[in-house]
Amino acid sequence: MPSHEKTRHKEFSLILPLITLGILYFFGATTSFPIVVGINLVALVAILSSAFSV
């Protein structure tokens, strides 16, 4: 199986961690529960969209 084989779904493996690091960098000192919940919801949506787009 070639390592550069194209898939039918888009990968968010690099975009989401960068967004999360940016959010935590800017709001790190005042990290609150809603921000953590928001990050988890974004991750959940990305995982589900990746899983169902195959």
pLDDT at 13: 65
**Are 50 and 12 in contact, with CB atoms under 8 Å apart?**
yes
Given this model, what pLDDT does residue 30 score? 63
Give pLDDT, residue 52.
Answer: 76
pLDDT in tens, 1-54: 455 555 555 565 667 777 777 777 776 666 677 777 887 888 788 778 777 766
Q: What distances in angstroms separate CA 15 from CA 2, 4, 12, 26, 29, one per listed residue?
A: 23, 19, 5, 17, 23
Instruction: Provide the whole-model pTM.
Output: 0.50
Note the pLDDT of residue 32.
Answer: 76
